Chain A
């Protein structure tokens, strides 16, 4: 039984190739991103370029972050079946530090006025003397004071990364040491993490994503963003499990494990669909102008209607129909097919969150967008593959290991 994953040079070269594409897209994107017609050059600041960086930083960081969340959830709920694929979701979470740095860079660039994705970062908007004075932003000035915003941002990123590193470190220690002491310590830490994450998953999405449309707010937004990240993470995990199975690793992972992961993908798709639709329906129903502006812009003014429908079909209709039956949740082809649809669909969902608020009607889905998304994908795949190769793929010592290996549903 082969328990040590080899990161072959062929796979490595593919990830390097993707990263090269991304790097070219980033450089060429920065150089060629000029203000579109009708937008003054002084106001523009490479908006399309930075908005793309934000989309990708948020999307890929979210995958690692929600893999960390999933890890904590498994400890707190004392889940036994998932122990057999523990190394896989640990590896997916290992992208978190790099994702956090990316997110930090994009936000810092905004604070340094390299871009104006966040209108409220411009101090003139809260200065009553200035022609740019914005009453609504001034009303939120307390929350968006730079020191408070940066305190929050740094707190989220640092605490998340510290927890993630800690979980991985202790998990490797437990593999050598055995017993239950470390496991119960993980449980305690995971409970603390979940409490912290319950608050920060929402507030971080307000700070980094909802504040792009700074006049607008929605109480569903935090969970909507959270569920979108979660389904992306579950999809990444199941795709990696299937990839490793296909390569002949993870022999002890049986059909029931795959079935349970498939159930997670199906269930979290529904969670996202529910929140996505409820956010829309409540706003549509009450019809208050300051709320409907969000969908007015997306569906009518800036021409994102086609993308909204695409997101709906890719992230709700296809997963629902294709993953409903028991057999398809055990079928590698279906899972990979639906997984790929969901992965792209949720990237597009983040795209629809960011772009209408930043580049507005001047949006493209061209070489820059696709190139940068592929570059980040390459980077994430490289980090995950390297993490997989670092430690044995199957846990050796865990209180629930035996139960997990006999998993049967």
Chain B
């Protein structure tokens, strides 16, 4: 029982959306869709799960806040106690207002960079990596849907795609 990969090309986003919805409703696994521009609602239509980048952002932010706190505590309180603005109170919480901006900046820095780096790694978009675009026309005016299915369902799906408005169908 071998696997089949179908590449279906669409000329417009409306038939693409409609086909994606009906295929997804029938349990066909749509692996990915390549579009020349963002199509609203497509990710939900092909059943892409909710992104978890927000969770990583939260963790990176927390890391940034902790690192900044540790750094400032070590530098300004522990290692070399510093008189801040004429307030000789050698405890972190007493000088807290002065530390807030740096804590904030570090949180944002770590969250933002962490998110970008995570995204690049997850999508494997690194310098020198060849683009994984199955058809360069998707950067211009074509929409390409990648479907993974079993060999025996191929014919059925192909006819559904044709009826749905696909202009070309390729097997990989």
Contact = CB atoms under 8 A, between A and B. Distances in A.
Nearest to A278: B101
Contacts of A280: 97
A408 interface: yes
Interface in A284-335: 284-287, 325-326
A281 B97 contact: yes
B41 A285 contact: no
Interface string B94-115: 0001101100000000000000
Interface residues of B, number: 11
Contact of B97 (A284, A325, A326): A284
A285 B100 contact: no
Given A285-B85, A287-B86, A408 B100 contact: no
B85 A277 contact: no
A17 to B, nearest CB: 44
A85 B67 CA distance: 43
Interface in B67-110: 84-87, 97-98, 100-101
B50 to A, nearest CB: 9
Given A277-B100, A281-B97, A281-B101, 15 more contacts: A277-B97, A280-B97, A281-B100, A284-B97, A285-B84, A285-B85, A285-B97, A285-B98, A286-B85, A287-B85, A287-B86, A287-B87, A326-B54, A408-B40, A408-B41
Contacts of B84: 285
Interface of B: 40-41, 54, 84-87, 97-98, 100-101
Nearest to B87: A287
Contacts of B40: 408
Nearest to A286: B85
Contacts of B85: 284-287
A276 to B, nearest CB: 12
Top 7 nearest A-B pairs (CB, nearest first) are A281-B97, A408-B40, A285-B85, A284-B97, A287-B86, A287-B85, A408-B41
A281 B54 contact: no
A284 B94 CA distance: 11
Interface of A: 277, 280-281, 284-287, 325-326, 408
15 contacts: A280-B97, A281-B98, A281-B100, A281-B101, A284-B97, A285-B84, A285-B97, A285-B98, A286-B85, A287-B85, A287-B86, A287-B87, A326-B54, A408-B40, A408-B41
Contacts of B98: 281, 285
A339 to B, nearest CB: 23
Contacts of A281: 97-98, 100-101
Contacts of B101: 281
Contacts of A284: 85, 97
Nearest to B40: A408
Contacts of B54: 325-326
A286 B97 CA distance: 12
Nearest to A274: B104
A325 B98 CA distance: 28
Nearest to A283: B97
Nearest to B85: A285
A408 B100 CA distance: 36
A286 B41 CA distance: 52
A259 to B, nearest CB: 13
Contacts of B100: 277, 281
Nearest to B101: A281
Nearest to A280: B97
Nearest to B104: A274
Nearest to A324: B58
Contacts of A285: 84-85, 97-98
B65 to A, nearest CB: 13
A403 to B, nearest CB: 12
A123 B47 CA distance: 73
A258 B100 CA distance: 32
A174 B87 CA distance: 61
Q: Which of A285, A286, A326 has the most CB of B within 10 A?
A: A285
A280 B85 CA distance: 14
B9 to A, nearest CB: 25
Nearest to A285: B85
B162 to A, nearest CB: 29
Contacts of B97: 277, 280-281, 284-285
A325 B57 CA distance: 12
Contacts of A287: 85-87
Contacts of B87: 287
A274 to B, nearest CB: 9
A285 B85 CA distance: 6
A287 B40 CA distance: 53
A81 B84 CA distance: 47
A269 to B, nearest CB: 15
